Amino acid sequence: MPAHWGWLLARTLGLITLGAIIGHLLGSALVGALVAALGSLAWHLRQLYLLERWLANGRRFQVPDGEGVWPRVFARVWLFRRRAKSRGKRFRRLIREVRASTEALPDGGVVLNARHEILNFNESARRLLGLHKRRDRGQRIESLIRDPEFAAYLQDPGQRQGVELKAPAGGDTWLSCRLVPWGPGQSLLVLRDVTQGVRLERMRRNFVANASHELRSPLTVIAGYLDTMAEDPGLDEQWREPVAVMKEQALRMRRLVEDLLQLSKLESGSRAPMEDPVDIGKIVVAVSREVASMAVKLPAVRLDISSHASLLGDEGEIRSIVSNLVSNAVRYTAAEGSVTIAWSADDAGGRLTVADTGIGISAEDIPRVTERFYRTDAGRARQRGGTGLGLAIVKHAMRRHDGDLSITSELGVGSTFTCQFPPQRIVQAAS
Ligand code: ADP
């Protein structure tokens, strides 16, 4: 037993014994012991009262001197209080520092609850979105950023990395918005000023579009003259071969210019319209016929159209998706191989697949083939008449149709390109 408890016990017993002796001398030992026990109890109650008062008032307290348990109890409580106080100070300083650093961040941060109501935001978010601390706390973020693309992203943030939109505060400021999970039932909207990047990208796109546009007319003239020369029976025999090569190269340049123009048009637009249903099965049939007339030695092209469902979108772009994928499949597959074009639709959406038994693409190249001008084997791909832009066009056109392009392939075995369209773009045929 600790010494102070021993002391208390000895003191209490001693007091009661003394009470009993005095009581005995005065006539009743029991009454004397009882009076002494009550005295001891009263003293303990007083200590308890002092402790309770001190805890309730929180006033500075002088630890009572003396021996026994009570001074120790007081001293311990006093120590706990002091520790809690200094811990509280440390936490407050930490919170101040965290707050100061979030305020100093150049990126905006808005904490949202599950209903997308604003709980808190930092200085950059206030500046970028034109928020007001008192007015906008508790407001739904969709009512401040009125943008359909942003609203769609908020509903399903897992669908994409983020969205770029014009700042609601006005001017020509562009913001990149990204939603990240933040505590239970909350999310953090991270905002970044991407105006500079958007301007540069716009300049690059305009430059490519303008240069391609300017190249179109001279190329048409050159190609026209070369056609005429190639067909001229009076052409000197030694010029026949060079003229044929020039004609082929002029045709390649024209294709390149057309693809560049198409790509910059796709990049600058937002979503494809949803008004007109496009009969994708009909397009598949037409493209496969066109491809069949392209060359004599071609792989067998099979069609597997298991749905009459149509697709809501832009007919020209959908045709471009099909024709780029099919012409690739045919170009990168030997005549002995085969190409299968399939169209199906169910509750999960529509699926266009173009599968071939061709040369295939290595695992490292798969993520890169949709980049502009990326070729797995530049020399061979150019010989096969490609512009290097086909899959970039497909990727952008798919994006405009809220769809997704996925590629699976194995070298020497073949490739499968799958275009997945969302259910809202599918119109089932009336039976
Ligand atoms: P290209 O006009 O050169 O075909 P694309 O953008 O259409 O350009 O394709 C990019 C590259 O991806 C091609 O150069 C080729 O290396 C590879 N590729 C595309 N489709 C296929 C396919 N079906 N089989 C094998 N490789 C392919």
Question: Of 19, 14, 50, which Cα lies nearest the Cα of 32?
Answer: 19
DSSP assignment of 385-405 equals: T--S-HHHHHHHHHHHTT-EE
Residue 220 has pLDDT above 60, yes or no: yes
Q: How far is the CA of 311 from the centre of ligand 1 (A)?
A: 25
Task: Establish whether residue 320 lines the binding site of ligand 1, counting it when its CB lies within 6 angstroms of any ligand atom.
Answer: no
Backbone angles phi, psi at 299, to 5 degrees: -70, 160
Arithmetic mean of pLDDT, 105-113? 92
pLDDT at 244: 93
For the chain, percent of residues with pLDDT exceeding 90: 61
pLDDT at residue 78 in the model: 84
User: Which of 327, 320, 264 is closest to 299 using CA atoms?
Assistant: 327
Q: Which of 165-179, 243-257, 331-345 has the lowest mean pLDDT?
A: 165-179
Residues 6+ apart with CB under 8 A from 358: 299, 329, 332, 333, 334, 337, 339, 414, 415
Question: How close is the Cα of 171 to the center of ligand 1, in Å?
Answer: 41
Mutate to test the pocket of ligand 1, among 354, 369, 373 (most ligand atoms within 8 A of CB): 369
Which burial class, exposed, middle or buried, applies to 201 when counting CB atoms under 10 A from its CB (0-12, 13-18, 19+)?
middle
Tell me the pairing of strands 338-346 and 300-305.
parallel
Give the model confidence (pLDDT) of 297-339 as tens digits: 889 999 999 999 999 999 999 999 999 999 999 999 999 999 9
Which of these ranges, 119-123, 210-214, 251-255, 375-379, has the smallest mean pLDDT?
Answer: 375-379
CA 315 / ligand 1 centre spacing (Å): 23
Average pLDDT for 111-128 = 92
Buried b (16+ CB within 10 A) or exposed e, 210-227: eebeebeeebeebbeebe
- Please give the structure tokens belonging to residue 278: 């496009």
What is the percent of the chain where pLDDT is above 70? 95
User: Higher model confidence: residue 74 or residue 308?
Assistant: 308
Q: pTM (2 decimals)?
A: 0.68
Q: Please state, in angstroms and as integers, the Cα–Cα distance from residue 103 to each residue in 99, 124, 128, 174, following that order.
A: 6, 7, 13, 20
Atom 2 of ligand 1, residue of closest alpha carbon: 386
Residue 330 near ligand 1, beta carbon < 6 Å: no
* Nearest-angstrom CA–CA distance, 427 and 310: 5
What ligand 1 atom has the least distance to the C-alpha of 333?
Answer: 24
pLDDT at 108 over 60: yes
390 close to ligand 1 (CB < 6 Angstrom): yes
Give the separation between CA 80 and CA 307, rounded to whole angstroms: 75
Q: Ligand 1 centroid vs 356 CA: distance in angstroms?
A: 12
Q: What is the pLDDT of residue 233?
A: 92
Residue of the nearest CA to atom 8 in ligand 1? 388
3-class secondary structure per residue, 298-328: CCEEEEEECCCCEEECCHHHHHHHHHHHHHH
Torsion of Cα atoms, 339 then 345 then 347 then 351, to 10°: 40
Task: Please give the mean pLDDT across all residues of the chain.
Answer: 89
What is the 328 CA–ligand 1 centroid distance (Å)?
Answer: 6
164 vs 378: CA distance, rounded Å: 34
DSSP line for 172-219: T-EEEEEEEE-STT-EEEEEEE-HHHHHHHHHHHHHHHHHHHHHHHHH
